[in-house]
Amino acid sequence: MYYKGYYINVVILDESYGVPGCVRHNSDDSYTIFIDASLNYEKQHEVFLHEIRHILGDDFSESDVQMIEMKNHMHDYYFEISAETFPYMKTMRMINAN
């Protein structure tokens, strides 16, 4: 998907080893969001929005992971991305990593 100048891939992982989600800044300047397949739809959506905030907040330039997560979680109540903005969230389950 392409959003606000960013190319973003979403991968649903069958084996996430207990991590709900993470995002990686790729060498081609795109991003890949990984989400745990065992989470229900609502939690997957929450994880997706959390990882999008990392991308939009340019959190990859900071080195203090705890500070990055604290800032990101502060926005949980204030930063919402609507279903109209991301209509493909409903089809997200179709992408699976094996």
Helices (H) and strands (E) in the chain, counts: 2, 5
Mean pLDDT by 10 residues, the chain (98 residues): 91 88 92 95 92 84 59 50 50 42
pLDDT at res. 77: 42
pLDDT at res. 62: 61
pLDDT at res. 42: 92
pLDDT at res. 56: 86
pLDDT at res. 91: 45
Q: Where are the domains of the chain?
A: 2-97
pLDDT at res. 44: 94
Tokens representing 2 are 């392409």
Q: Are 31 and 24 in contact (CB under 8 A)?
A: yes
**3-state DSSP assignment of residue 73:** helix
